[in-house]
């Protein structure tokens, strides 16, 4: 588990380095479950509203598969892979704060059938050391520039 | 020259003359501010002013003059303040006229020029009471005496009395009291108090018969009170009239040098100029001296800090910070402009305001939703919203605007929207529509109607349902319409109100180019701010395109009988969005549309139409103080709850978003919908299109 200050990022997950830090996990039959990581939710603030493409919708890596509105952020959630959405987490639709409360568990967003998992996962950040370095670098940058939602609140 | 005290008589007039000379210097100083501050020469300003004054708008001018004397807006707000103000204005004008007419008819003064007469006229009672006899006294002179003391009595007892009671005893003023406030109260009333005393002393010194003296009813009363003192009154005659002369000269000389006194002149001037000016914001250019127009510079001076703007301000209501309301900011800016552009500053030079002041200004400037309610209640009709936008332009020009404004500018450069949302995904919301084929609204080369969705409605998951309902309605109505899709750019509203006057025109050019290419004849907007921007800033570039808010479109369908309604039982109220209501004058159409649905019980909010309460979401305040925005929205939801309505309708996506947030936070039992959403929820049916 990579950890820096109050943010934890499990090293066994894959991270898509975008504006809102998407995590991805390979599940059985090579399906990909994804969500916003703890760092992303800290930067965005308390999630208020979410909207995601419905099951059956196509995802393109790097392009939005949904939109979130949090205390200090309105923006897209980018898909970590090309593919087709199989399932959307209804609990998160009803209570978006699950993303804040349990980013890697109940706060997952979508289950995707990837088109080319191997190719798409090549540039995702993975492994304890890499994730730790990624987390620390981004954390320091956000702290310096006052980009965390909590920082702005003070 | 006149009578037995020639030196003394001339002394009073001479003192007043000195006061008038100082007044003239101050007047020149202020004219410098109005002309240099707007980057115009005096000649150009006079030429433009003359053009306006001699235009065929005499009716508007006359009404503005009437308003500047009788202040109907102030009467609506507070009867006592109105009484004080009107007593002072009418009495001062009245006493100047009466004194001058009287002085012009006095044989003792007939040898002096008309100009000199002006300086002698406030002291004409010196000669009159000294020389009057029962034989020479007539009815006209009695009327003069009565009016003279009557006007003075009104100023002192009614006007000043109410002012002193409010300021010093009731402490009803929003703004902290300064020494200058005490000076103004003393200066305005002091010269009259001394004049009454001088008249009383004159009555005693020259043994004016009671039958004559009693016509100066105030002075006569005072003479009866002081008579038992048994002083040698001829000595005091000279002293009291001299003091009265000095007091008048001090008052007159001070007028141009403090905004609260200068307001006597600048307020009526501002009301007349405003009545003739086009109600459109003038964007500053980089080469302009300041962001202000001459009209605005006069308006800035017309504010007397009455505090009525604060009483109606949604942000002031939260924390009672006097520094964020127009009255305080305008005073601070007025001071800054005088320091920089006044005649005296140009002679002696002044340092620009310190950096810390700029930071303070910036914070205060952006703690405002630009809802414009203050503009609706300002007794002298100052366009406070327009002035604040110009102040923000000044902040951007001088590089002390909050960083959020610069970030918004940069975001639009990157993604053509201030949220920096990937613009190519602008219509992601449409992917949730499964009942309207994409071919009905996308990838069209031409369309009769363009539905301009706007950034917040496109991107915010909280309100993108408004885009869906608008699109469904247009489809069900059988219209030939299209979206601009990823070609749609921000209309420019957040940059305009943020003060980035030079950074939004390219967005307008992009939108206009696309709209023209699609040969659209009409445009429909669901966002009140986009609609406001298009109708105010795009219309001249798209003269052939008719622009409708979705409410106007629905209203058109309702009045033409194109819609069939099913019964929909609900208690409904309507929130007037600021940019749609106060900004564009759309108040009645939404109410008529809602009331057209059978089964709906319509209730008004406690504050509605021109005085409707802002949701907190406007004026870029969310960029700089999101917490305050939520507090303002909570106040609005409190007002909605008071109506007992099940549903509140709004004509603006951003308002809906703010209200939704506050409902969620307060756990209020009310639902917020856009008008188009209400229509679909109510289950409308369309008549076949002709």
- Is B5's pLDDT higher than 80? no
CA proximity to B427, closest of B481, B483, B494: B483
| Confidence check: pLDDT of B192 > 60 | yes
Which residues in chain A are closer than 8 Å to B425, comparing Cβ atoms?
A: 63-64, 76
Higher-pLDDT residue of B535, B424: B535
* Predicted TM-score of the model (pTM): 0.89
Most confident of A116-125, B425-434, B522-531: B522-531
Cα of A140 to nearest chain B Cα, Å = 20
Give the pLDDT mean for B535-557.
95
Cα distances (angstroms) measured from residue B371 to each of A131, B376, B607, B622: 47, 10, 14, 13
Q: Does B421 touch chain A (CB under 8 A)?
A: yes
In a mutagenesis test of the A interface, which of B426, B461, B465, B664 is the best target, namely the one with the most A β-carbons within 10 Å? B461
Q: How many angstroms away from the CA of A121 is the closest CA of chain B?
A: 22
Short-list B276, B296, B274, CA closest to B284: B296
B422, B432, B661 member nearest A76 (Cβ)? B422
In chain A, residues with a C-beta closer than 8 Å to the C-beta of B420 are 75
- Predicted pLDDT of residue B377: 96
Check residue B351 and give its pLDDT: 57
Check if the beta carbon of residue B374 is closer than 8 Å to that of residue B312: yes
Q: Taking CB atoms and an 8 Å cutoff, what residues of chain A touch B432?
A: 51, 53-54
More confident residue, B581 or B284: B581
Q: Which residue of A has its CA nearest to B664?
A: A48
- Tell me the torsion sign for CA atoms A85, A91, A94, A98: negative
Task: Compute φ and ψ for B650, nearest 5 degrees.
Answer: -130, 155
Contacts 24+ apart (CB under 8 A), A117-123: A117/A26, A117/A30, A117/A32, A117/A81, A120/A61, A120/A80, A120/A81, A120/A82, A121/A14, A121/A24, A121/A26, A121/A80, A121/A81
- Tell me if A67 and B462 make a contact (CB, 8 A cut-off): no
**Distance between CA atoms of residues B513 and B538, nearest Å:** 11
Q: Are the Cβ atoms of A54 and B421 closer than 8 angstroms?
A: no
Lowest mean pLDDT across A4-13, B175-184, B644-653: B175-184
Higher pLDDT, B453 or B690: B453
Q: Which of A50, A54, A72 sits opposite B461 (nearest CB)?
A: A50
B464 touches chain A (CB under 8 A): yes
Residue B665 contacts A, CB cutoff 8 Å? no
User: In this predicted structure, what is the pLDDT of residue A153?
Assistant: 40
- Compute the average pLDDT of residues B166-190: 81
Edge to edge, what strands does the sheet with A47-52 contain?
A47-52, A64-70, A73-78
State the average pLDDT over residues B451-461. 95
More confident residue, B533 or B43: B533
Q: What is the C-alpha separation between A114 and B683, in angstroms, rounded?
A: 40
Res B23 pLDDT > 80? yes
Q: Which residues of B touch A54 (CB under 8 A)?
A: 431-432
Tell me the chain B residues in contact with residue A49 when contact means C-beta distances shorter than 8 Å.
460-462
* Beta strand pairing call for A22-26 and A47-52: unpaired
Which letter, b or e, does each residue of B144-173 get, where b requires 16 or more Cβ atoms within 10 Å of its Cβ?
bbebbbbbbbbbbebbbbbbbebbeeeeeb
Q: CB of B414 within 8 Å of any CB in chain A?
A: no
| Contact state of B461 with A51 under an 8 Å Cβ cutoff | yes
A67·B420 Cβ contact <8 A: no
Q: Do domains B414-557 and B564-686 have the same CATH topology?
A: yes
Chain B hits for A57, CB-CB cut-off 8 Å, are 431
- pLDDT of A110 reads 96
DSSP H or E run through B598? none
Can you give the pLDDT at residue B431?
A: 77
What was the pLDDT predicted at B132?
A: 82
d(CA B296, CA B383): 8
Task: Decide if B146 touches A, using CB distance below 8 A.
Answer: no
In this prediction, residue B8 has a pLDDT band, given cuts at 50, 70 and 90, of low
Q: Which of A135-149, B397-411, B469-483, B636-650 has the lowest mean pLDDT?
A: A135-149
Contact between chains at A53 and B428 (C-beta distance less than 8 A): yes
Domain ranges, ordered by start, for chain B: 6-260, 288-403, 414-557, 564-686
Crossing angle between the packed helical segments B384-397 and B294-302, to the nearest 10 degrees? 120
**Count of alpha carbons within 13 Å of B260, Cβ hemisphere only?**
20
Helix (H) or strand (E) holding B445: none
Name the residue facing B431 among A48, A53, A75 (closest C-beta): A53
**Angle CA B620–B624–B628, to nearest 5:** 90
Q: CATH second-level architecture of B414-557?
A: 3-Layer(aba) Sandwich (3.40)
Please indicate whether, in this complex, the C-beta atoms of B428 and A64 are within 8 angstroms of each other.
Answer: yes
Taking only residues 643 to 662 of chain B, the set having a beta carbon closer than 8 angstroms to any beta carbon of chain A reads 661
Q: Do B459 and A51 touch (CB under 8 A)?
A: no
Closest Cβ opposite residue A75 in set B419, B431, B664: B419
Of A50, A64, A74, the CB nearest to B419: A74
Q: Are A34 and A25 in contact (CB under 8 A)?
A: yes
Q: What is the pLDDT of residue B166?
A: 85
Question: What is d(CA B92, CA B252) in angstroms, rounded to the nearest whole number?
Answer: 12
So what CATH class is B288-403? mainly alpha
User: A51 has which bridge partners?
Assistant: A67
A63 → chain B, closest CA residue: B425
pLDDT at position B2: 43
Optimal mutation site among B424, B427, B428, B654, interface A, most CBs of chain A within 10 A: B428
Average pLDDT over residues B29-48: 78
Structure tokens at B222: 């005072």
pLDDT at B114: 75
CB distance B461–A67 less than 8 Å? yes
Contacts of A145 in chain B (CB under 8 A): none
Residues in A closer than 8 angstroms to B419, CB to CB, are: 74-75
Measured between beta carbons, the chain B residues lying within 8 angstroms of A50 are: 461
Which candidate from B419, B424, B626 shows the least CB-CB separation from A71? B626
* pLDDT reading at B352 higher than 70: no
Helix, strand, coil in percent for chain A, rounding step 5: 30, 35, 35
Q: Which residues of B591-602 are buried (b: 16+ CB within 10 A; e: fewer)?
A: bebbebbeebeb
pLDDT, averaged across chain B: 89
Taking the domain B6-260, which CATH number applies? 1.20.950
Measured CA to CA, the distance from residue B101 to residue B99 in angstroms comes to 6
Contacts of B664 in chain A (CB under 8 A): 48
pLDDT at B1 over 50: no
Does residue B350 register a pLDDT over 70? no
- The answer, for B459 touching chain A at a CB cutoff of 8 Å, is yes
Instruction: Give me the pLDDT at residue B41, please.
Output: 66
pLDDT at B104: 82
Specify the range with the lowest mean pLDDT, choosing from A25-39, B165-179, B271-285.
B165-179
Encode chain A (154 residues) as per-residue pLDDT tens digits. Answer: 899 999 999 999 999 987 668 999 999 889 999 999 999 999 999 999 999 988 998 999 988 898 999 987 888 899 999 999 999 999 999 999 999 999 999 999 999 999 999 999 999 999 999 999 999 999 998 888 777 875 444 3
pLDDT at B353 over 50: yes
List domains and CATH numbers for chain A: 2-128+136-141 (2.40.50.100)
pLDDT number for residue B133: 84
User: Three-class SS of residue B472?
Assistant: helix
Q: Provide residues of A within 8 Å CB-CB of chain B.
A: 48-51, 53-54, 57, 63-64, 66-69, 71-72, 74-76, 153
B564-686 placed in CATH 3.40.50.10700: yes
Judging by beta carbons within 10 Å of its beta carbon (0-12, 13-18, 19+), is residue B582 exposed, middle or buried?
A: buried
Sign of CA dihedral B188, B193, B196, B201: negative
Residue scoring higher pLDDT (B6 or A39): A39
Number of CB pairs < 8 Å for A and B? 48
Q: How far apart are CA B530 and CA B511, in angstroms?
A: 12
Band of residue B46 on the pLDDT scale cut at 50, 70, 90: confident
Top-confidence residue, B312 or B421: B312
**Which pLDDT does position B489 carry in this prediction?**
97
Closest CA to B377 of B451, B448, B325, B324: B325
Q: Do A48 and B462 touch (CB under 8 A)?
A: yes
Where is A111: in which H helix or E strand? Answer: strand A110-114
């Amino acid at each position: 588990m990579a950890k820096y200050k109050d943010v934890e990022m499990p090293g066994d997950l894959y991270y898509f380095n975008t504006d809102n830090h998407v995590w991805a996990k390979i599940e059985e039959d090579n399906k990909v479950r994804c969500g916003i990581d703890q760092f992303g939710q800290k930067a965005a603030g308390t999630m208020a509203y979410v909207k995601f493409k419905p099951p059956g919708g196509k995802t393109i890596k790097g392009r939005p598969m949904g939109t979130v509105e949090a205390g200090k952020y309105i923006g897209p959630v980018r898909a970590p892979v090309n593919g087709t959405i199989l399932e959307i987490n209804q609990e998160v639709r009803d209570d978006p704060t699950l993303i804040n409360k349990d980013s890697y568990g109940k706060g997952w967003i979508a289950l995707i059938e990837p088109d080319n998992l191997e190719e798409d996962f090549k540039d995702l950040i993975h492994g304890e050391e890499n994730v730790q370095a990624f987390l620390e670098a981004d954390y320091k940058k956000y702290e310096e520039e006052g980009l965390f939602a909590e920082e702005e609140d003070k | 020259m006149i009578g037995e005290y020639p030196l003394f008589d001339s002394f009073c007039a001479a003192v007043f003359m000195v006061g008038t000379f100082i007044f003239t210097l101050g007047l020149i100083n202020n004219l410098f501010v109005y002309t240099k501050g707007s980057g115009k020469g005096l000649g150009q300003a006079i030429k433009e002013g003359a053009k306006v004054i001699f235009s065929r708008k005499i009716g508007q001018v006359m009404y503005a003059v009437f308003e500047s004397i009788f202040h109907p807006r102030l009467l609506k707000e507070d009867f006592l303040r109105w009484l004080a103000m009107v007593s002072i204005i009418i009495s001062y004008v009245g006493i100047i006229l009466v004194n001058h007419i009287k002085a012009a008819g006095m044989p003792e003064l007939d040898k002096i020029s008309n100009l000199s007469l002006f300086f002698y006229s406030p002291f004409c009672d010196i000669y009159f009471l000294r020389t009057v006899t029962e034989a020479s006294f007539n009815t006209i002179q009695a009327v003069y005496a009565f009016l003279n003391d009557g006007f003075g009595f009104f100023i002192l007892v009614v006007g000043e009395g109410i002012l002193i009671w409010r300021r010093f005893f009731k402490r009803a003023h929003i703004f902290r009291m300064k020494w200058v406030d005490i000076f103004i109260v003393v200066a305005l009333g002091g010269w009259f108090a001394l004049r009454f005393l001088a008249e009383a002393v004159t009555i005693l010194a020259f043994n004016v018969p009671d039958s004559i003296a009693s016509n100066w009813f105030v002075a006569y009363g005072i003479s009866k009170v002081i008579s038992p003192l048994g002083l040698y009154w001829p000595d005091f005659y000279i002293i009291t009239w001299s003091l009265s002369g000095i007091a008048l000269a001090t008052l007159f000389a001070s007028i141009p040098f403090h905004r609260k006194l200068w307001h006597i002149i600048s307020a009526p001037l501002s009301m007349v100029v405003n009545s003739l000016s086009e109600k459109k914001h003038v964007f500053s250019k980089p080469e302009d001296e300041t962001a202000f127009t001459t009209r605005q510079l006069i308006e800035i001076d017309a504010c007397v800090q009455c505090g009525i703007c604060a009483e109606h301000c949604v942000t002031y209501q939260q924390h009672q910070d006097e520094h964020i309301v127009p009255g305080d900011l305008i005073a601070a800016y007025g001071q800054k402009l005088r320091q920089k552009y006044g005649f005296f500053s140009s002679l002696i030079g002044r340092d620009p305001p310190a950096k810390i002041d700029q930071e303070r200004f910036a914070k205060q400037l952006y703690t405002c939703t630009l809802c414009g309610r203050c503009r609706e209640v300002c007794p002298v009709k100052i366009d406070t919203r327009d002035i604040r936008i110009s102040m923000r332009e000044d902040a951007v020009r001088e590089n002390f605007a909050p960083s959020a404004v610069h970030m918004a500018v940069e975001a639009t450069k990157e993604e053509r929207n201030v949220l920096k949302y990937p613009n190519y995904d602008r219509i992601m919301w449409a992917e949730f529509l499964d009942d309207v084929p994409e071919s009905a609204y996308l990838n069209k080369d031409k369309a009769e109607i363009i539905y301009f969705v706007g950034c917040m409605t496109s991107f915010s998951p909280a309100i993108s349902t408004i885009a869906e309902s608008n699109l469904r309605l247009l489809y069900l109505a059988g219209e030939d319409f299209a979206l601009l899709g990823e070609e749609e750019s921000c209309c420019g509203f957040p940059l305009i109100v943020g003060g980035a006057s030079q950074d939004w025109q390219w967005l307008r050019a992009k939108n206009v180019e696309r709209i023209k290419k699609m040969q659209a004849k009409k445009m429909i907007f669901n966002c009140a701010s986009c609609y406001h921007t298009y109708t105010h800033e795009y219309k001249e570039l798209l003269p052939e395109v008719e622009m409708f808010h979705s409410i106007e479109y629905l209203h058109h369908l309702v009045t033409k009988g194109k819609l069939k309604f099913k019964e929909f039982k609900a208690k409904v109220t309507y929130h007037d969005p600021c940019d749609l209501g106060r900004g564009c004058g759309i108040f009645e159409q939404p109410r008529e549309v809602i009331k057209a649905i059978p089964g709906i019980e319509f209730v008004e909010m406690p504050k509605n139409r021109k005085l409707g309460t802002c949701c907190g979401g406007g004026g870029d305040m969310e960029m700089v103080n999101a917490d305050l925005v939520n507090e303002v929205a909570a106040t609005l939801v409190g007002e909605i709850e008071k109506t007992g309505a099940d549903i509140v309708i709004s004509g603006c996506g951003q308002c809906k978003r703010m209200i939704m947030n506050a409902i969620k936070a307060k756990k209020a039992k009310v639902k917020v919908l856009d008008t188009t959403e209400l229509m679909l929820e109510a289950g409308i049916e369309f008549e076949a299109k002709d």
